[in-house]
């Protein structure tokens, strides 16, 4: 089995740019882990005329969930991981140097 047209493999992310539904897609991991319902790959496009209201609503809900919760978790987790790596290696870039010194003095 071969997939020749990847533009309709995943649902489009709701971005307000002309024709962005053709190239701004949700990542497969996001669709798999967060979506409570099966998402239509034709959402937000002219191909998804049948059931468009429901399909588009599902995609907008996923996007809102991602923006509210998952992005915050990822950024917080990445910041913590990066802080620990920097402390462990004793390599401290300029801006983080002041923050780490302030944390040490506060402790």
Q: Which residue has the higher pLDDT, 100 or 57?
A: 57
Q: Render pLDDT for 11-29 as a digit per residue (tens, 0 to 9).
A: 877 877 787 777 777 777 7
Q: Quick one: tokens of 29?
A: 């991991």
- Between the alpha carbon of residue 50 and those of residues 42, 54, 55, 60, 100, the distances in Å are 10, 9, 9, 17, 55
Residue 100 has what pLDDT? 65
Q: What band does 68 get if pLDDT is binned at 50, 70 and 90?
A: confident
The pTM is what? 0.52
DSSP character for 90? T
- Torsion angles phi and psi, residue 12, rounded to 5: -75, 145
pLDDT for residue 91: 56
Q: What is the mean pLDDT of the chain?
A: 75
Query: Which two structure tokens, joined as six digits, stand for 67?
Result: 């923006």
């Amino acid at each position: 089995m071969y997939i020749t047209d990847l533009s309709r493999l995943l649902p489009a992310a709701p971005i307000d740019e002309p024709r962005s539904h053709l190239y701004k897609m949700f990542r497969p991991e996001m669709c798999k882990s967060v979506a409570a319902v099966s998402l239509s790959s034709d959402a937000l496009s002219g191909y998804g005329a049948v059931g468009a209201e429901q399909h588009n609503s599902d995609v907008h809900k996923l996007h809102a969930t991602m923006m509210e919760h998952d992005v915050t978790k990822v950024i917080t987790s990445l910041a913590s991981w990066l802080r620990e790596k920097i402390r462990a290696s004793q390599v401290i870039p300029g801006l983080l140097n002041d923050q780490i010194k302030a944390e040490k003095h506060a402790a």
